[in-house]
Amino acid sequence: MADAKRSNQPSMDNYWMPFTANRQFNAAPRMFAEAKGMYYTTTDGRRVLDGTAGLWCVNAGHGRQAIASAVERQLTTMDYAPSFQMGHPVAFEFAERLAAIAPAGLDRIFFTNSGSESVDTALKMALAYHRARGEGTRTRLIGRERGYHGVGFGGISVGGIVNNRRTFPTHLPGVDHIRDTHDLERNAFSPCEPAHGVERADDLERVVALHGAESIAAVIVEPVAGSTGVLIPPKGYLQRLREICDKHGILLIFDEVITGFGRLGTPFAADYFGVTPDIITTAKGLTNGVIPMGAVFASRQVHDALMDGPENMIELFHGYTYSGHPAAAAAGIATLDIYHDEGLLTRGAEMAAAWRDAIHGLKDLPHIVDIRTIGLVAGIELASREDGPGKRAYEVFVDCFERGLLIRVTGDIIALSPPLILEQSHLDELVSVLSSALQRVA
Ligand SMILES: Cc1ncc(COP(=O)(O)O)c(C=O)c1O
């Protein structure tokens, strides 16, 4: 009975989809059934090139047998172990392996289940750190306009996406924002890091002057803002932010949920920009998207400040039932093996020039007002149509999907972030489908 039921087309009524226009989707569903390497296969048997690594997470490509086997082995050996006051070697091994690739000193690893949870965890660590050091007045958290830090109340509070803020008006108190770095007028079509805008980092000085440094715990930014349209920091910007944080005793958090694990051609964006924050949040590529998991990388300074007080005391009063889940940790270790064996954490650097040239080659097509690339990421910004922002890019998205390419759109910006196993032939195919879609859209 169950099998018979399963083989029928499922009802579209019950699954309430996340970040989706559910009614529009249900009227014309787009469904994937299989995935291998660089391609999905739809339920009606069409191959679709994955231009977005799923949701920025399948960095080693789909259907990696070694990860599936590691998960199966782990689940049949030990499916679950409590994460509070009990441990298992797989989580410790995974943390050790992560520490080995982390930017210098960020080798204290706390496991979560998602990017949103990693962000909440990092914000809490920052508050706990200052309190432990006798600076409990530092409670203010600073984000940046156009930042995306997931969907927890912490993340939407420090995030700078207006719809998140408008729809859920209850936020953490004591949050402020610095300005974003987007500057179309001066920086459009920059081949890589934009030349103009380092001074936008000085906005942090404005916020410090307004609130007082003694009230500020941390600043959180995405090194490259992804979800609001691939905003690449101007040259020198992140260094300047680091300097201002140091000057005022403020912790710097990099949200590397999308930039972590090779996306920019280095293991982390911190490596790419040569700027070391105090805390890094990750998820997504951590397990190649196979099992949900996140990890927060804390500096020894942050960690050690909390390792004080009586030894029977829980140092950080925080954690999840599934922190360090055995199956997720096993998936993560197998993922790191693949990244290592195939050189994927730096492969983006090898492909970056071909990627940049191919994507920038689209610049004379209609409606394009900017193209931005870095590592294996691209943002293509379209002018919005009068019938409403986002409609033009959505049409490009549907057209691409129907002709065999998955892209992502945010407003009228197309975001591309393919698996890091991308070959020239995939790049040619991606550009060909996308350029014809861009030529067709009104
Ligand atoms: C920078 C950043 N932070 C946090 C998140 C939230 O991650 P999750 O959806 O796993 O909660 C995302 C998701 O795209 C992200 O891009």
Domains of the chain: 2-60+345-440 (3.90.1150.10), 68-341 (3.40.640.10)
Beta bridge partners of 381: 370, 413
Question: What mean pLDDT do residues 279-301 have?
Answer: 98
Cα–ligand 1 centroid distance for 274 (angstroms) = 23
Answer yes or no: is the C-beta of 49 below 6 A from any ligand 1 atom: no
54 lines ligand 1 (CB under 6 A): no
**Would you say residue 290 has pLDDT above 60?**
yes
Q: Which residue is it, tokens 């020039």?
A: 353
What is the band of 5 on the pLDDT scale with cuts at 50, 70, 90? Answer: very low
Going by alpha carbons, the residue nearest to atom 13 of ligand 1 is 150
Q: Verify whether ligand 1 is closer than 6 Å to residue 120 (CB atom).
A: no
Q: Output the pLDDT for position 163.
A: 84
As beta bridge partners, residue 50 has: 406
Give the position, in ligand 1's atom list, of the atom nearest the Cα of 155: 4
Question: What are phi and psi for residue 224, nearest 5 degrees?
Answer: -120, 115
Contact 226 CB / ligand 1 (< 6 Å): yes
pLDDT (0 to 100) of residue 6: 52
User: What pTM value is reported for the model?
Assistant: 0.97
Grade residue 162 by pLDDT with cuts at 50, 70 and 90: confident
Q: Average pLDDT for residues 209-221, to the nearest whole number?
A: 98
Contact 373 CB / ligand 1 (< 6 Å): no
Q: Is 283 touching ligand 1 by the criterion CB < 6 Å?
A: yes
Specify whether the CB–CB gap between 159 and 148 falls below 8 A.
yes
Confidence of residue 198 (pLDDT cuts 50, 70, 90): very high
pLDDT at 166: 85
- Strand pairing class (294-298; 279-282): antiparallel
Assess whether pLDDT exceeds 50 at residue 46.
Answer: yes
Task: Summarize the confidence of residues 93-114 as an average pLDDT.
Answer: 98
Indicate the top mutation candidate among 258, 261, 279, 287 to test ligand 1's pocket, ranked by most ligand atoms within 8 A of CB. Answer: 258
Query: From the alpha carbon of 150, which atom of ligand 1 is closest?
Result: 6
pLDDT of residue 73: 98
Token digits of residue 253 = 């958090």
Residue 7 has pLDDT above 60, yes or no: no
CA of 343 to the centre of ligand 1 (A): 25
Say if strands 140-144 and 216-221 run parallel, antiparallel, or are unpaired: parallel
DSSP alpha helix (H) spans, 102-178: 115-132, 153-158, 162-167
Quote the percentage of the chain above a pLDDT of 90: 95
Q: Is 228 in the pocket of ligand 1 (CB under 6 A)?
A: no
Residue 72 has pLDDT above 90, yes or no: yes
Cα-trace Rg, the chain: 22
pLDDT for residue 56 is more than 50: yes
Position 222 pLDDT exceeds 60: yes
Phi, psi values for residue 295, rounded to 5°: -145, 140
Cα of 1 from ligand 1 centre, angstroms: 39
Cβ-Cβ contacts under 8 Å for 112 (sequence gap 6 or more): 118, 120, 121, 283, 293, 294, 295, 296, 320, 323
Report whether residue 148 contacts ligand 1, using a CB cutoff of 6 Å: yes
Give the pLDDT score at 437.
Answer: 98
Determine whether the shortest distance from the Cβ of 115 to ligand 1 is under 6 A: yes
Residue nearest to atom 5 of ligand 1 (CA): 150
Specify whether the CB–CB gap between 122 and 129 falls below 8 A: no
The finding on whether 113 has its CB within 6 A of some atom of ligand 1 is: no
Q: Does the pLDDT of residue 98 top 90, yes or no?
A: yes
**Is residue 227 within 6 Å of ligand 1 at its C-beta?**
yes
pLDDT interval class at 258 (50, 70, 90): very high
Which residue in the block uniquely carries the two structure tokens 């000193």?
105
- pLDDT at position 357 over 60: yes
Question: Given pLDDT bands bounded at 50, 70 and 90, which one contains residue 421?
Answer: very high
Instruction: Give me the chain's average pLDDT, please.
Output: 96
Task: Give the distance (Å) from ligand 1 centre to CA of residue 209.
Answer: 30
What's the mean pLDDT in 347-351? Answer: 97
